[in-house]
Structures are given as C-alpha cells and as structure tokens.
Amino acid sequence: MFDVLVYLYENYWRAEACPGPEQLTRKLSSVGFEHDEIHEALAWLDELTHSAHAHVGQQAAHSLRVYTAHEQELLGEASIAFISFLESAGLLPAPMREMVIDRACAVGATPLELEDLKIIVLMVFWSLGKEPDALILDELFVDVQDRLIH
C-alpha cells in the first residue's frame, strides 16, 4: 500500500490532480501494482478524505495529546516521538496531527515503521493541498527514497 501512496505523491502533486478511481486503478495496474495493493491504498485514501472532514473544525491552538494504550501500541515510540517533533516545531497543527494518528492507526501494523509514518504525514499534507516546509520535506523524504521503485 505504501508504495502506491508514494507513487501517487510523486506523480500527482495534489489529490485533485488524480483521475477518478476507475481510471486511477487502471493507471496503477498498468505501472505494475497489484490489485489488492491498489484497492487497499485507494480505500485508505478515501478514509483520509473522511478524516479531513472530521477534523476541519478542530482548534489548532496549543493542545496536549495524550495517547491511549492502543495508540501507543500501534504507533510505537519512534512514531509518537516524530509526531511530537513535528508538532513542537510548528509544522503539524493539531487537526493534521489527528489526521496522521487516525490514518496511522488504520494501518494496523504494530508498531508502525517510522518510514511508513513519514509517508502518512506526506499524504496528509498532499490530501489537504498543502506543501510541507522545505526542511521537513527533506526529513520526510530521507528514508522513503528507497521506496520509489516505479
């Protein structure tokens, strides 16, 4: 799934630039992605859109995030530390943080690999049509370059 997400980020600078689901499925299939991987990625992206709508009205002011035991298990220490770093640097406002956490927990991997979390952060920015700060973009791409196989 993450390889499909990286491909979409690399080839469609904004979510609005993506073709419709049927055409996108054909395109992804033609470049070599498996049907199950495509379906999983597109379903994940659809839920990302719903998550964006759910978190639109949240306050972006200073807030303290307390992670549940389940979230801690799913995310792992490295991912939680990275989210905290982005938040404390002023790069990830509370509504976007919640979108990242929501989509990271939806993956279900225990614990989530930090490289996968970085892709999720990129996709949250991408889905909102926002470009991450240049410094954070470099940090996010450091570990995901090996995934760019297509």
Give pLDDT tens digits for 85-118: 999 988 899 999 999 999 999 998 788 999 999 9
Region 55-82: what's the mean pLDDT?
Answer: 83
pLDDT of residue 62: 65
Torsion of CA 73, 118, 147, 50, to 10 degrees: 80
Long-range contacts of 110-113 (CB under 8 A, 24+ apart): 110/73, 110/74, 110/76, 111/73, 111/74, 111/75, 111/76, 111/77, 111/78, 111/79, 112/74, 112/75, 112/76, 112/79
- Model confidence at 81, in pLDDT bands (50, 70, 90)? very high
**Comparing 16 with 38, which gets the higher pLDDT?**
38
Contact between 42 and 22 under an 8 Å Cβ cutoff? The reply is: no
- Output the average pLDDT for the chain: 86
pLDDT of residue 149: 44
pLDDT of residue 143: 52
Rounded Cα distance between 107 and 114, Å, is 13
